[in-house]
Structure 1
Amino acid sequence: MKQLFLCILFMAWGCSKIDDSYKNLIEPGGRVYVEKAKAVVRPGYKKVAIVWPRASDPNVHSAKVYWNNYSDSVLVNIAANQDTISVPIMGLQEQYYTFIVKTFDNKGNSSVPVEVNGRAYGDSYLAALANRFVSSAAVWAGILTINWGAAAVYNGEVGLQLMYKDTAGAQKKIFVSNTQSASVISDFAADTKFEYRSMFLADSNAVDTIYKEYGRVRDIKLDKTKWSVVSFSDQHPEPGGGAAAVIDGTFTTRWHTQAIPSAAPYPHWVIVDMKSEQTFTQFGVERTNKDVPAGDARGPNTFQVLISKDNITWMDLGTFNFNRLANGEQLFPITSAASGRYFKFVALTGEGPLMVLGEISAYGF
């Protein structure tokens, strides 16, 4: 019995000593903690947004977000009817950040701190991106057709913004998704160009869309529907043929040079009026398959292109080698920066006196 009494006495004394040691750390009535924020970081271009749903605790009155080891912070008030709290933080450098979020009631009680991490994107990220590739662009009868290369979905490309002038003279902007392989614009203004820029989301949770600068396509296949042949060296008369066949939009017709009563020798030439001034970047030449389904090999070996503003004074754009044995359009870049309303195509040499050709096209801006 005596031993039991001593044990109880010792325990009481021990508890008293423990209470004396910790009583200065305990607030009377206990510490009040406010409901913490269930926050996430939404990345953006030189900024982020710290976002969380409104707390179920009606006493949550405000919040404070800290970063850079508490050296920077922003205080926000929270309205009673606010479903989502979004705290934008602007002017950030391109790097990863750690943010601390605390919520408060109107008595100054705070939540436990919540740590969230996220990245602000910047010019280095933007410089690594590129506008979507244009496989081809052509205008025919006022309709612009653009064939797009694959979108950089792995880099977050969501689509692109296409800007052009319509037939009424108004600027139009349309969205082209990252899954759309072609665009057909039926109200494209004649003799104008289009611009476009790709759009990126750096993250599926990103707070904004990042745009590349507008890029202009240099190689639009020019509309030939208003062009006309104003003169030519020679031609063999046949229905649907003649020198004008090289600008009718199909290689299934042909320009067959004079064959009767005797074949006209090289050179063979044609002058085309484009009706408006154009700047060339390249020419396209294609042999015909008329009467020779596998392709007619009587095309030229070499040709020359000249350009003129008035059909009087001409500038030489170069001499080129043509593969008369190959099917499909062959492209020939123009290195001289020149513009004009007329161009002259001169077939210089071939295997014999005759020349047969399917189509001539021009690309430019």
Structure 2
Amino acid sequence: MRKNNTLYLFLIVAITTCVIGCKKMDDTYRQFVENGETVYVARADSIKAHSGENRIELSWLLLSDPKVRSYKVYWDSRSDSLEGNVQKTDEVDTIRVMVNNLDEGVHYFEVYMFGEGGTKSVQTEVIGHSYGDIYKNSLLPRIVRNAEWAPGSSITLELTNASEDAVRTEFEYLDRTTGELTTQFVSSDTEIDTLPNVKAVENEAKIKYRTVFLPDSTAIDTFYSEYSTMTLVKTGLEVDKSGFSILPLDNDAWESHYSNRSPDLMWDGSTTSRPYATVKADMPSSFAIDLGKTVDLTKFRWNDYSGGNNYAYFYNRGTPIHFEVWGSNDPTEDGDWSKWTKLGTYEIKRPSGLPRGEDLTQEDIDRGIEGHEFTFDESQDNNYRYIRFKVIDVWQGSDPYYVWIGELTFWAFP
């Protein structure tokens, strides 16, 4: 008898537990019951939160429930909400909802789907992150460890390792061929790169750069650091003069007027030794130099003789006023000008502006000692071994005369 009582007690407890459990389940799904039938509305499936700048985009899937008509999104403990309509197709549909004007930080979202008659789905939750001024103010451009000029008017860059949220770094500069602003992207995993065809203005190139960031893998907005600017002076290296020699061309006036005024005095490294003097010739008068190797020329300097504080050669006698510089890599012995390319036209100006014969000012003397520097046009090819000077006139006049040169110095990339 005691055994039967125990069995009855167990059955009573089991039935009671089942009734209570079913009542709780009924309470949960009571909202889906209409006219005695259970009506289910599909919930937001595979929901994702995509971070942005003071905004977050929510996306989810609508699978196969044709009863779905609308949605409602709550966020931040239901302090705000938005809603919208949907139209289900026969395919798997993707719903995208942009939540704007969010404070920077983490946000909690609840999404409900609704059908006809106000029936709704169970809740779907997702957490997202919006970014704003705090994040943007923390962004710094990727560090350029080293930047230097390279052949072909290019600039070689060496960068530090990029941070995990960096996508690329953008470099802006003037293109020497088009003269227009161009942008080159350097990816975050690239540490050494080259900016091609950089235009230098007065031997300087200004490079602006900034780094682009994605704060996380879900981000829909990119963020930018402030621009930084670096200035690179283009001088190149002084070309070694030990390989220089005169290039004797048939129609040049390259021979020396005086026996002690030989061409090698143009590259003996001194402006106080005797100057080189060509033979007297009709203007224009020309002479050519073999640099000993092909180089990418950037600039050159013309110095007059200034030995023993003797400045009588400055802006006088055979010092050129107007002249041209030509380059070639395959000259012919007859001096055919069709084998040469003009690299530039130049003028030696007296700083004081006074005519020949007037006493030199201190400014004239200082510039004469310093020499006159000239640059080669960055928009052209300046890779040459042979350089030819065509002197149009000298300070003595345009009648037959000789040309005086104290020292010639070239700068170039190897």
State the shift of 1:342 in Å: 7.4
Deviations 1:95-142 (CA, angstroms, capped at 9, x unpaired): 111011112224432111111112111111222221011122233455
Separation in structure 1 between the aligned mates of residue 36 and residue 156 of structure 2, nearest angstrom: 73
Determine if contact 1:67/1:98 at 8 Å carries over to the other structure.
yes
Is the radius of gyration larger for structure 1 or structure 2? Answer: 2
* Farther-moved stretch of structure 1 (107-116 vs 30-39): 30-39
Residue aligned with 1:112, SS: coil
Would the aligned equivalents of 2:157 and 2:195 in 1 still touch at CA under 8 Å? no
The 3 A distance-change label for structure 1 pair 186 and 243 is farther
Deviation at 1:165, TM superposition (A): 2.1
d(CA) in 2 for partners of 1:214, 1:100: 40
1:360 offset after TM fit, Å?
9.9
* 1:117 maps to 2:127: yes
Gaps of 5+ in 1: 1-6, 228-236, 251-309, 314-340, 344-358
In structure 2, relative to structure 1, the CA distance for the partners of 1:136 and 1:59 (3 Å cut) is same
1:202 corresponds, among 215, 237, 248, to 215
Partner amino acid, structure 1, of 2:187: S
Whole-angstrom CA distance in 1 between matches of 2:103 and 2:210: 24
Query: C-alpha distance in 2, partners of 1:122/1:157?
Result: 16
- Quick check: 2:237–2:411 contact (8 Å CA) kept in 1? no
1:58 corresponding residue in structure 2:
66
Listed one character per residue, the Cα deviations across residues 267-321 of structure 1 (whole Å, up to 9, x for unaligned) are: xxxxxxxxxxxxxxxxxxxxxxxxxxxxxxxxxxxxxxxxxxx7987xxxxxxxx
- 1:222 maps to 234
What is the distance in 2 between the residues matched to 1:184 and 1:128? 28
3-state secondary structure, aligned to 1:217? strand
Q: 1:242 aligns with which of 261, 269, 289?
A: 269
Equivalent position amino acid for 2:39 in 1 = V
> Secondary structure of 1:57's partner?
coil
1:33–1:112: 8 Å Cα contact kept in structure 2?
A: no
Task: Write out aligned runs for 1:37-116 (5 A).
Answer: 37=44, 38-81=46-89, 83-116=93-126
2:180 to 170, 192, 200: 170
Is the alpha carbon distance of 1:242 and 1:58 closer, same or farther for their aligned partners in structure 2, counting shifts above 3 Å?
farther
What are the superposed Cα offsets for residues 28-67 of structure 1, whole Å, 9 maximum, x if unpaired? 3244231111211111221111122332323323222111
Report if the CA contact (8 A) 1:41-1:51 is conserved.
yes
Letter in 2 for 1:117: I
Any residues of structure 2 matched to 1:248-259 within 5 Å, and which?
A: none
- CA deviations on 1:49-94 (whole Å, 9 max, x unpaired) are 1122332323323222111221211223334357422211122111
How has the CA–CA distance of structure 1 residues 180 and 249 changed in structure 2, closer, same or farther, with 3 Å as cutoff? Answer: farther
| Residue of structure 2 equivalent to 1:270 | none
The one-letter code sitting in structure 2 at the alignment partner of 1:203 is D
In structure 2, what is the equivalent of residue 193 of structure 1?
206
| Cα pair distance change 1:144/1:71, threshold 3 Å | same
Cα pair distance change 1:238/1:135, threshold 3 Å: farther
| 1:36 and 2:39 aligned | no
* Matching residue within 191, 195, 199 for 1:181: 191
1:189 positional shift: 2.2
Percent identity of paired positions between Structure 1 and Structure 2: 30
Q: Which runs of 5+ in 2 are unaligned?
A: 1-7, 240-263, 272-290, 297-350, 353-361, 364-371, 375-409
Displacement after TM superposition at 1:238 (Å): 8.7
* Counterpart residue type for residue 242 of structure 1: G
Within a 5 Å distance, the mapping from 1:320-331 to structure 2 comes to: none
Distance 2:180 2:95 in 1: 40
Matches of 1:120 and 1:182, distance apart in 2: 33
SS of residue paired to 2:135 = helix
Distance change >3 Å, CA 172–CA 147, structure 1 → 2: same
| 1:74–1:226 CA distance, 2 compared to 1 (3 A) | farther
Equivalenced residue count is: 242
Instruction: Measure the CA separation in 1 of the matches of 2:268 and 2:117.
Output: 92
Q: Is the 8 A contact 1:151 1:159 kept in 2?
A: no
Alignment TM-score, normalising by the size of structure 2: 0.48
In structure 2, distance between residues paired with 1:115 and 1:172:
46
Matched position secondary structure for 1:126 = helix
Evaluate the alpha carbon distance shift between residue 226 and residue 175 of structure 1 in structure 2; reply closer, same or farther with a 3 A threshold.
same
Q: Which protein has the bigger helix share? A: 2
Q: Is the CA contact 2:41–2:65 (under 8 Å) kept in the aligned structure 1?
A: yes
Letter of the 1:35 counterpart = A
1:180 Cα deviation after fit: 1.5
For residue 187 of structure 1, give the secondary structure of its aligned residue in structure 2.
coil
Q: Is the 8 A contact 1:142 1:223 kept in 2?
A: no
SS of 2:157's equivalent in the other structure is strand
- One-letter amino acid matched to 1:160: T
